[in-house]
Chain A
Amino acid sequence: MLASTSRLESPDPLQRRIVSVLQDGLPVTRHPYREIAAQLEISEQQLQKEMQSMLDSGAIRRIGVVPNHYALGYRFNLMVVWDIEDNEVDAIGERIGAMEFVSHCYRRPRFPDWPYNLFVMVHGKTRAEVEDKIERVREQTGAAYRSHTALNSTKILKKTGLRIRSEEK
């Protein structure tokens, strides 16, 4: 159920304003934080302090660049979905999430025409490379494994950041 995944803790208004101003990223200038602070009409120190606390809480995962996988030669970007025994899936998800080449690992609900409950993203420059990685993930699933399938992405149809509105409506 959706309600079980909800994380609607009353969001901090300043943090939401920071997210809103930074949705398109930082300016590539000598003093990027000073410019953002000016837009928010707060001091640079206040912005730094708030962003540090967001890094500490995990509200900011990291600050840096996001590469386009394809431009770097990672032509195979596969969402590999697994049907894993319910009572084992969390322990196995933790192990797979810890593998150094896995970029995303989530548990999601099953449906009558969708048996897969564990989603794992792997990336590679060749088909052989991703097949080897999938095999290494398979080894982690052991006896709880029932089936899996790999969905290669063939086209990016849209890619924008997740957006929030700065003001509540």
Chain B
Amino acid sequence: MSNARALHQQIQQLSDFDCLLINTLQSDFPLDPAPFDELAGRLDYSAEAIMAGVKSLLDRGVITRFGPLFNIEQLGGQFSLCALKVPERRFDAVAELVNSYPQVAHNYQREHEWNMWFVMATESAAELLALFEEILQRTDCPGLNLPKEKEFYVGLNLQA
């Protein structure tokens, strides 16, 4: 939550080294006892420089995460994409309420009559449904509960 506001649409000045790191490290960071040393051999920069570069990208919010990306659904749990139709004048209050649930992982404002879209993660299907109903009741907004029925693709490297 704390960095969510800082995260929004700020475009950053990126050096060539920043871009090299982003483009290289989006896939296949080595699962190796000394992964930065392994990268140093490939990228022609020292391990220290690469570590400093990754820290700087994290500090500046250019990358939001460094580490493994889990397909958490394989590890148990229930997930859903939910939407609310929120009156504009109540938008901030509803966002605050929805964001206050730790089970809400992502929340985006979108340009549409369904203007708030968030992902919920819970331990069970029953907990997910109960939480969705509770959010509808507390926000007094119409809602959609759209659990994934089939995944065709998740991925993508963005070129910096």
List the interface of chain A (C-beta within 8 A of B). Answer: 2-12, 15-16, 19, 22, 24-26, 28-34, 44, 48, 51-52, 54-55, 57-75, 79, 90, 93-94, 96-98, 101-109, 111, 113-114, 119, 123, 149, 151-165, 169
With a cutoff of 8 Å between Cβ atoms, the chain A residues found around residue B105 in the complex are 158-163
With a cutoff of 8 Å between Cβ atoms, the chain A residues found around residue B55 in the complex are 28
A sample of 10 inter-chain contacts (CB < 8 A) reads A12-B75, A26-B66, A26-B67, A26-B68, A28-B51, A62-B29, A65-B26, A90-B150, A158-B118, A160-B105
- The interface centre, meaning the residue of A52, A72, A109 with most chain B CB atoms within 10 A of its CB, is A72
- Are A7 and B74 neighbours in the complex by a CB distance under 8 Å? yes
Tell me which of B9, B12, B22, B83 contacts A75 (CB under 8 A): B9
Q: In the bound complex, what is the Cα–Cα distance between A67 and B7 (angstroms)?
A: 11
Given A152-B110, A164-B72, do A68 and B64 touch, yes or no (CB 8 Å)? yes
Closest 10 CB pairs of A and B: A97-B153, A97-B152, A25-B67, A103-B156, A11-B76, A26-B67, A157-B107, A155-B109, A66-B65, A158-B107
- The interface centre, meaning the residue of B31, B34, B103, B128 with most chain A CB atoms within 10 A of its CB, is B31
Interface of B is mostly: mixed
With a cutoff of 8 Å between Cβ atoms, the chain A residues found around residue B109 in the complex are 153-155, 157
Given contacts A12-B75, A75-B11, A159-B64, 14 further A-B pairs with CB under 8 A are A7-B73, A25-B65, A30-B47, A48-B31, A67-B22, A67-B26, A68-B64, A106-B149, A106-B151, A107-B148, A108-B146, A108-B149, A158-B95, A159-B7
- Are A72 and B158 neighbours in the complex by a CB distance under 8 Å? yes
Tell me which of B67, B128, B153 contacts A98 (CB under 8 A): B153
Interface residues of B in 101-160 (CB under 8 A from A): 102-112, 114, 116-119, 121, 123, 125, 128-129, 142, 144, 146-156, 158, 160
- Are A157 and B99 neighbours in the complex by a CB distance under 8 Å? yes
- Are B117 and A79 neighbours in the complex by a CB distance under 8 Å? yes
Tell me which of A12, A64, A93, A164 contacts B152 (CB under 8 A): A93
Chain B interface extent, by class: 35 or more
With a cutoff of 8 Å between Cβ atoms, the chain B residues found around residue A157 in the complex are 4, 95, 98-99, 107-109, 116, 118
List the interface of chain B (C-beta within 8 A of A). Answer: 1, 4, 7-12, 14, 21-22, 25-29, 31-37, 47, 51, 54-55, 57-58, 60-81, 83, 95, 98-99, 102-112, 114, 116-119, 121, 123, 125, 128-129, 142, 144, 146-156, 158, 160
- Are A55 and B22 neighbours in the complex by a CB distance under 8 Å? no
> Quick one: closest A residue to B144, CB to CB?
A114
